[in-house]
Amino acid sequence: MILQNRIVVYHAGYIPIKKIDLSLCSVGKDFGKGFYTTTDYNQACKFVKVSIKKAIKNGIKLSNPSMGYITAFNFANSEEKISVFEFNDANREWLHCVAGHRNHNLVINEKNIWTNYDIIAGKIANDATNQVITAYINGLYGEVGSDLADETAIRLLLPNKLSNQICFKTEAAIRCLTFAETKEFFIDEHQ
């Protein structure tokens, strides 16, 4: 189980985050629009560089393009009405959720399954697996959602030791997070 009460989660970014604003979150991410965190500090460190590259690509002027931030939040679910869906593995259901959120024309009937959750947690599609996910979405393993395509993509994903991600999708979910601290993180250009 990824999301447990009273754990620390980390958010990596090109700016420090003290107050979370869901309206600033992007669509088209693995579990949909929301505020993404991980329980894996090392994964957060790796994502700082990705965040900086995306900001620069989107024309955001950074005062120091070698520096990002890792913000820690304490998670405590004090609201009983929080609905959480957790993928235990990179399985067919997880693959369809990621594909459907990245490409809104795919697995349309299944996407509705995840719209009513406040929090979705599961494996993260990282640099090593993005090629597999992209090939799957583009139909290179067969028709998206078919047994052949699903089995091929999952077989190629399983050898990767995937870390986790937690998407806080609603204001109720955000209220479960309490700011702990922000640390500057300097990236090495040779990473």
165 is in which domain, residue-wise? 7-186
Predicted local distance difference test score (pLDDT) of residue 182: 95
- pLDDT per residue rounded down to tens, the chain (191 residues): 788 888 999 999 999 998 999 999 988 888 999 999 999 999 999 889 989 988 999 999 998 989 999 999 999 987 668 999 999 888 999 999 999 888 888 877 776 788 889 999 999 877 668 889 999 999 999 999 999 999 999 888 875 677 899 999 999 999 999 999 999 999 875 34
128: which residues sit within 8 A by CB, 6+ positions away?
A: 160
Predicted local distance difference test score (pLDDT) of residue 190: 39
Backbone angles phi, psi at 63, to 5 degrees: -65, -30
Residue 99 belongs to some domain of the structure: yes
* DSSP secondary structure, 107-157, as one string: SHHHHGGGTT-SEEEEE---HHHHHHHHHHHTTBTBSTTSHHHHHHHHHHH
Residue 181 belongs to some domain of the structure: yes
Predicted local distance difference test score (pLDDT) of residue 115: 84
Predicted local distance difference test score (pLDDT) of residue 168: 97
Which residue in the block uniquely carries the two structure tokens 């594909």? Answer: 99
Residue 1 belongs to some domain of the structure: no
Residue 2 belongs to some domain of the structure: no
Q: Cα(76)–Cα(60) distance, rounded to whole angstroms?
A: 33
- 126-174 pLDDT, tens digit per residue, is 766 888 999 999 999 999 999 999 999 988 887 567 789 999 999 999 9
Kindly report the pTM of this predicted structure: 0.90
- 139: left (phi > 0), else alpha (psi -120 to 50), else beta? left
Residue 100 belongs to some domain of the structure: yes
Backbone angles phi, psi at 39, to 5 degrees: -90, -5
Residue 137 belongs to some domain of the structure: yes
Count of domains in the chain?
1
